Amino acid sequence: MHLSSFFCLLSSLSHAIELDFCVGDPSLPRGSEGYACKDSAKVTTDDFVYTGFRGEKTPNNVFGNNVTLAFSDVFPAFNGLGISMARLDFAVGGVIPVHSHRTSEVLLLVKGSIIAGFIDTNNTAYYKRLEVGDVMVFPQAMLHFQINIGKTPATAFVSLNGANPALQLTPTSLFAGNLPADVAQQITLLSHEEVTRMKRIFGTT
């Protein structure tokens, strides 16, 4: 190993263990590396416990799902640790539509039966029916999806290797934002009527 590389490695290791943790302070602006640390004198055990996954979750949108996010903005203990979580609840027939994150994701199915999959940059789809206890990985930035194909509601938990992995749903990106209808029509090859219908579904007309 070159001497310069060795010292770079030592420097990175020493930086990594300089703090035991960095519970984020969401009242301050978030930078490229996350939130500034909360005053350690004010950190309590409660800062390391997230209760947002408790209880029943009722699917509440056009997709028939309810997604409960535990990213660093709602669970600041994840700040700086490079991890986050979410709970996915599906009504019968519910879906998590095609979407992507800045990170990789691992899913654990705890109730029901779903089809889960992702599509790589060669347009090859990798998908499978999952049963309770099954785990599936979705590589970084790949478009992926989940569909409840069972006769009962389904629930899954996911973990992502970033404290703020973001969530970009393809349908809402195209039809729920400020993208003009004529542009959406051109880039999707949908008719004007179809684009108008999609924008109406997502509440932007």
Tell me the backbone φ, ψ of residue 119, rounded to 5 degrees: -125, 125
How distant is the alpha carbon of residue 137 from its chain centre? 13
DSSP tally for the chain: helices H, then strands E: 4, 10
For 47, list phi and psi in degrees, rounded to 5: -65, -20
**Residue keyed to tokens 């705890």:** 110
Q: Strand, helix or coil at 8?
A: helix
Q: Is 105 annotated as a binding residue?
A: yes
Residue 101 assigned to a binding site: yes
144 is in an annotated binding site: yes
DSSP state of 37: B
Residues 6+ apart with CB under 8 A from 148: 64, 90, 91, 92, 93, 94, 95, 112, 113, 114, 154
Annotated binding site for Mn(2+): 99, 101, 105, 144
Annotated binding site: 99, 101, 105, 144
Annotated binding site for oxalate: 101, 105
